[in-house]
Structure 1
Amino acid sequence: MSNTILDIAKMAGVAKSTVSRYLNGGSVSEATKRKIEQVINETGYIPNTFAQSLKAKKPNIIGTIIPRLDSFATSQTLIGIDEHLKELNFQMLIANTSQDVTREIENIYSLKRQKVAGIILLAAQVTPAHLEAFQEVQLPVFLVGQQYEGVYSVIHNDEEAAYELGKHVLEMGHRKIAFLGVTETDIAVGVKRKEGFRRAIGEREDCEVRYYETSFKMEDAQVEAMRIMQEFRPSIIVCATDNIALGVMKAAYVNGLRIPTDLSITGFGGYDITEVIHPSLSTVKFYYKDAGRLAAQNIVKLIHGEQVPFVTISPHTFIQRESVDNKIGYLI
């Protein structure tokens, strides 16, 4: 049976309130502090930091709302948030929405009732209902991955990254191109990446480009890719995420196409798996863990009343690998 605060107080020969004050960072004499620390070390006592936060005048729990659990981007962002919050003596409480916007709004209010100090939201979109909730809960709110005027956020430079990728596709000689994106309700992935790519392609007049949509799921991307290959037969499919690219790769193998000779493929994200598969995937690498650390750093600053920029941009890198064929020789 685990020890309680009362057990620690009895073993240290002090009042329960003294132990509680010590655990919450209150004023305790050096002699008393040493006695409590000795008992805690001997017993291996682990305080209930969530309960402490609920009782404390200044809670140290950060509510983090995520759209899905089975996502490389989400997991890496959470690692970054958690690591930095621990360094700042804060804890993270995670609420998953399974990509349900209604649950996302409900969780904002729920976290307020649980007395969190602030909220980090990995949002796919920001609706009027989100803005209303932000106003009503009166807590510091920080977005990751999406930008909205008047709301603090850290974003990936999706449009510029897509522009760079589009320029690479053209430099490799591709002129018959399919772009496989997602719904435009997701501004970062569905709009900004398509806009950046379209801007790059618009700098040439000899391209045939078609734009398609799918979900974030590999199996849905595979189905849509099969249709694209049958009706359009592009030399390259540019995918809005690495997950989509993996689904397209599966469709290519099912159709007996060789990558990149018969079909080139690119992605966005820089997931670990894209480096070890064969052929390895050319992709834009986003530094999700660093973005998570930035979010943690800035939400704590907001809680302490410090100023932070409304928008912080996380860097990216284009990684050229094996999945894009060089068609320049065929154009000469």
Structure 2
Amino acid sequence: MTTIGDIAKLAGVAKSTVSRYLNDGSVSEATKRKIQHIIRETGYTPNAFAQSLKAKKTNIIGTIVPRLDSYAFSRTLIGIDEELKTRNYQMLISHSNLDLEQEMENIHSLVRQKVAGIILLATEITERHLEIIKQIGIPVLLVGQQHEEIPSLIHNDYEAAYEVGKYVISKGHQRIAYIGVNEKNVAVGIDRKEGFKKSIESAGDIDVQFYETNRKNEKLFSIVSEIIDTFNPSIMVCATDNIAIGVMKAIYSRGISIPNDLSITGFGGYEMAEMIHPGLTTAKFYYKNAGNLAARKILSLIRGEDTPMKTVSGFEIIYRESVRKV
């Protein structure tokens, strides 16, 4: 097994120089290229945890994820891990299972393991989050939610919802049901709804009713039945692709045709949205790219570089067969 000593001997430098390189320290460009070449040739892989015990500055980034079964979160984690590996950092994942108390404990646990920084894939930011983040003394990056006191990387939920609204109106829909989520989730529960509201303000004679479901969609069938029986919209705009897929199932169970009788849209751009029939019109977010960007941003914060407090990841509207022109 190749060691740091072996790398140093082959490169003709001291072990401390190799250690500085592996910990993102100051090394000349010529020496850096020499060490990089030898590492590639030997296939050397540094032991991140062993390094963390010896160095004041580790090459481990803690990542807290609220759900492991989420398409959005899993794609973001892939992007983070992919980018960190290219920069000689490793990712340590901590799962909170949507439990805020567990999330607080996960932050403390990662600090005890001497991570260099923490990426928090957040669904909600509370006062306790702010207190702990101020106390721990290492950089923290929020992904998916924004707070003015914490560096944040967000998806452009407001603008995406605005564009979805414009498209729905352009298709002639005037009776619209919007199915959202709890407003504790600011990005999905508030920003998407407000962006959609803004798009229809000047649209004239539009009747929109707003509804809410929980993350598990446990009451979705009854909500969909209530909407159809009492409101009878021409389209249902769903705050996530998961909600939209659940709505489609509920609609089919009543013998209703999509999009001939009722149109559907979502948000997210999940792979499943393309596989189902009809294909789901949706606002696609680039979760893996956002993960790449989050990794670069947390490393910038660790190095003390001038980093914007808010970074916005892009989106595009994917037009498929689930929406018809009225």
TM range (shorter): 0.7 to 0.9
Q: How many residues align?
A: 310
Distance 2:142 2:192 in 1: 18
- 5 Å-filtered alignment, 1:206-245, equals 206-245=205-244
How far 1:45 moved relative to its partner? 7.2
* Aligned residue in 1 for 2:162: 163
| Residue equivalent to 1:121 | 120
- Report the equivalent of 2:187: 188
Q: What CA deviation, in whole Å up to 9, does each residue of 1:209-261 have, x standing for no partner?
A: 11011123355434432332233221111000001000001101111111001
Q: Check 1:54–1:261 CA distance in 2 against 1; reply closer, same or farther (3 A cut).
A: farther
* 1:116/1:110 CA distance change after superposition, 3 Å: same
SS at match of 1:324: coil
Q: Distance in 2 between matches of 1:160 and 1:225?
A: 26
Q: Deviations over 1:99-125 (max 9, x none)?
A: 111111111111111100000011111
Aligned equivalents of 2:286 and 2:155: distance in 1? Answer: 8
Q: Is the 8 A contact 1:216 1:241 kept in 2?
A: no
Question: Cα RMSD over matched residues?
Answer: 2.6
Deviations along 1:254-303, one digit per CA (max 9) or x if unpaired, are 11111001110000001111112110000001111111111100110111
- 1:47–1:308 Cα change, 3 Å: closer
Q: Which runs of 4+ in 1 moved over 6 A?
A: 18-21
Indicate yes or no: 2:198 matched with 1:202. no
Query: For residue 304 of structure 2, what is the aligned residue in structure 1?
Result: 305
Check the 8 A contact 1:219/1:247 in 2, yes or no: no
Q: Give 3-state SS (helix, strand or coil) of 1:234's partner.
A: coil
One-letter amino acid of the counterpart of residue 116, structure 1: V
Partner of 2:260: 261
Q: Is the 8 A contact 1:67 1:122 kept in 2?
A: yes
Range 210-219 or range 265-274, more displaced: 210-219
Q: Which residue of 2 aligns with 1:56?
A: 55
Unaligned residue ranges in structure 1 (runs of 5+): 328-332
Asked if 1 retains the 8 angstrom alpha-carbon contact of 2:66 and 2:97, the reply is: yes
Secondary structure of the structure 2 residue equivalent to 1:120: strand
Give the counterpart letter for 1:314 in structure 2: S
Deviates more, 1:99-108 or 1:309-318: 99-108
TM-score of the two chains, using structure 2 as the length reference:
0.87
Secondary structure of the residue aligned to 2:279 is: coil
Q: Which amino acid aligns with 1:281?
A: L
Between the aligned partners of 2:170 and 2:267, the Cα distance in structure 1 is: 18
Deviations 1:86-145 (A, max 9, x none): 111110001111111111111111111110000001111111000001011011011111
**Shift in alpha-carbon separation, 1:4–1:315, aligned structure 2, 3 A:** closer
> Match of 1:159, SS?
helix
Shift of 1:157: 1.3
Out of 93-102 and 210-219, give the one that drifted further.
210-219
Question: Residues of 1 paired with 2:227 and 2:47: CA distance?
Answer: 54
2:260 counterpart of 1:281: no
> 2 CA distance for matches of 1:226 and 1:59?
54
User: 8 Å contact 2:48–2:58 — kept in the other structure?
Assistant: no
- Higher Rg of the two aligned structures: 1
Structure 1 match to 2:106: 107
Letter in 2 for 1:113: R
Equivalent residue, structure 1, for 2:251: 252
2:54 alignment partner AA: K
Aligned-partner Cα distance in 2 for 1:262–1:232 = 14
Question: How has the CA–CA distance of structure 1 residues 22 and 216 changed in structure 2, closer, same or farther, with 3 Å as cutoff?
Answer: same
1:320 matched to which residue of 2?
Answer: 319
Judge conservation of contact 1:24–1:52 (CA < 8 Å) in 2.
no
Is the 8 Å Cα contact of residues 163 and 197 (structure 1) preserved in structure 2? yes
CA distance in 2 between partners of 1:313 and 1:121 (Å): 16
